[in-house]
Chains A and B, each alone.
Chain A
Amino acid sequence: MARFVMEFERPLVELEEKLADLKKIDLAAMPDLAAEITDLENEVERLRQTMYQALSPWEKVQVSRHPERPKTPDYLEQLFTDVVELRGDRAFGDDEAIVTALATLGDRRVMVIGHRKGRTTKENVKRNFGSPHPEGFRKAERAMRLAAKFRLPVVTFLDTAGAAPGLEDEERGQAWAIANCLATLSALPVPVVVVAIGEGGSGGALAIGFGDRLIMLENAYYSVISPEMCAVILYKDAARAAESAAALSLTAQDLLGLGIADEIVAEPLGGAHRDAEAVVAAAGERIAAALAELGGLDAAALVERRYERLRAIGEFVEATGT
């Protein structure tokens, strides 16, 4: 299978390919080659370590978009049992860019709401690459209300480049659909655990993207605007996305520093796709732990605590004497 190569990985991949070619040669015929192979192996390992251990914000964004990265359906399949998908917004249609489902994590029954990117091109076309239409957000809001009514904790998975910006999306009230999710989510009388597993693009991510605990994967990002769009506005040049990504404070580490994210799930060197099963399992443990901790709070305390968490976000200056 051809491996998907991220732009910044190319030098490493070229070396790895060269090494693989060398290893195909019969060593008995060329005894000098053994030392050369060892040298190259060391070089590849050194490069792998330095490259992946210090990913820049823009490189992390690329990792978060890696097509083989574990997606919401992978988490649903690996972590949850008795999954019953709930479909449709009861007004217009069923948007596959968001999945809502009754599901069981260990011995805990929950409501899962997640952006759903596809694993194949065909799936991605059906799911609009995980960018929801207003119906998707209305379905999510319906799931939130069900969770509130039947006292089911909510677990959300964030993985979207953003809400769909099409003509019909505007006409059917994209802004209204997102705003209503925000309002409903803010007052849910049940625990809300948010897991940022990949892309966290703007309002489309936020609509299901805040709660009582924010768990972020090491290479997930969460941003007010995509680095490319930001670069177009600031520099009139999408190619300067790396500079924008660095300026926007969008990495998991940035969010932890700002007090918005609560914890980070480590990924293997190179990204979650290198060992998807282990990453999904680790995230599952953190979700279960968060649900156990939050389970002790009553509804009023949860809502109050969530409100205070939101109210504390933001830094401004206040002149005294006014």
Chain B
Amino acid sequence: MPINDWFKQRETRRYTVTSGASSDGLPDGVWRRCPECKRTLYQGEVARTLSVCPHCGHHFELIARDRIEALADEGSFVEADAGVTSGDPLRFCAAKPYTESLEKARASSGLAEAVVTGRATIEGLPVAIGAMDFRFVGASMGSAVGEKVARLFELALAERRAVVLIIASGGARMQEGVLSLMQMAKTAAAAERFSAGGLPFVSILVHPTFGGVTASFAVLADVIFAEPGATVGFAGPRLVEQTIRRSLPKGFQSAESLVEHGMIDDVVPRGELRERVTTVLAYLMHRAPAAPAAFSEGEV
């Protein structure tokens, strides 16, 4: 199941960012074409709408820091564990060395690891927040990601913060072998311990979320939302297709179908996420509701 390839293809189709002198002659980084409605969009316009196409609502990929910025109170985010990064514990070298993939990921993303974590507030509520970045080895979970996620739950429990995670991932990081597999148990154990502390965990699943990340901390949240168009599952679609030996129904593993099957709470457009998360956290952290609007004269 070349799941990474499958996503690579899909990524290219869905999230092409026009850079350099592209075939349609658009200047570098200023214009981008919506893969859904095919319209050409001005970059500045897209940035104002949280990278959602203003014409058709297509959600472009967002980098981890932008996802955190979009949810947290302005200027409130302080990164934690920024120095934690992957080693090469198994000296993995098959096809190409793991160290090469890591160097490439670091150079192209400017990130130290596939997840960015830290402290922030959302409408004043204290949160431990993290976002995964698909550009970094497919946002796969190796020892460093597992460690950062586990630490995030631990600091949240110690400081009585809610946990908010924006999740995308190709799954466990193959290049760290069985150590990656065990990160599923490690992160699930940390999430479980956090949960016993009576604090809320909200996860937001974005495109794509698969394998060992879905089947560990991602779905252990108290409330799970997904972005429109996100594909979420355990087994990759190609493997499922091979298993059942027929083509997959339309919308299989889509965020919308997960709602139908009772697996997540709702599909929430990016522009409404902050408000929805705030409301949920306020309920679960017992914050007083906002003052109701005053009744106007004569109304019952």
**A: which residues have CB within 8 A of B?**
163-167, 169-176, 178-180, 182-187, 202-203, 206, 210, 222-225, 229-230, 232-236, 243-244, 246-250, 254-255, 258, 260, 306-307, 310-311, 313-322
Contacts and interface: CB of A to CB of B under 8 A. Distances in A.
Nearest to A182: B188
Given A203-B181, A320-B83, A235 B95 contact: yes
Given A179-B220, A183-B192, A203-B212, A316 B184 contact: no
A225 B189 contact: no
Contact of B87 (A169, A173, A316): A316
Interface string B190-227: 11110110000000000000011011111110000000
Given A179-B220, A314-B179, A247 B93 contact: yes
A235 to B, nearest CB: 6
B81 interface: yes
Contacts of B211: 203
B266 interface: no
Interface stretch (B51-59, B69-77, B142-150, B286-294): B142-150
Contacts of A170: 233-235, 240, 252-253
B268 to A, nearest CB: 19
A176 B219 contact: yes
B186 interface: yes
A314 B177 CA distance: 10
Interface of B: 1-5, 81-87, 89-90, 92-95, 112, 142-144, 146-147, 150, 172-174, 176-186, 188-193, 195-196, 211-212, 214-220, 233-235, 239-240, 243-244, 248-249, 252-253, 257, 261-263
Given A233-B2, A307-B189, 15 more contacts: A164-B243, A170-B235, A173-B263, A174-B234, A179-B214, A179-B217, A182-B184, A182-B216, A224-B176, A249-B177, A249-B178, A310-B189, A313-B183, A315-B87, A319-B83
Nearest to A225: B174
Of A258, A314, A317, the most chain B CB neighbours within 10 A belong to A314
28 contacts: A165-B234, A169-B234, A173-B261, A173-B262, A174-B215, A174-B235, A178-B216, A179-B188, A179-B217, A182-B189, A183-B188, A183-B220, A202-B172, A203-B216, A210-B182, A210-B185, A223-B181, A224-B173, A248-B178, A258-B178, A306-B189, A310-B182, A310-B189, A313-B182, A313-B183, A316-B84, A316-B143, A317-B84
Given A163-B234, A232-B2, A258-B178, A187 B193 contact: yes
B106 to A, nearest CB: 12
A164 B95 CA distance: 28
A249 B176 CA distance: 8
Given A165-B234, A179-B218, A317 B87 contact: yes
B215 A167 contact: no
Of B146, B192, B193, B249, the most chain A CB neighbours within 10 A belong to B192
A255 B216 CA distance: 21
A249 B90 contact: yes
Nearest to A187: B192
Given A166-B244, A178-B234, A247 B94 contact: yes
Contacts of B176: 224, 314
A260 B179 CA distance: 9
A234 B175 CA distance: 10
B226 to A, nearest CB: 13
Given A176-B263, A249-B90, A317-B86, A206 B185 contact: yes
B14 to A, nearest CB: 20
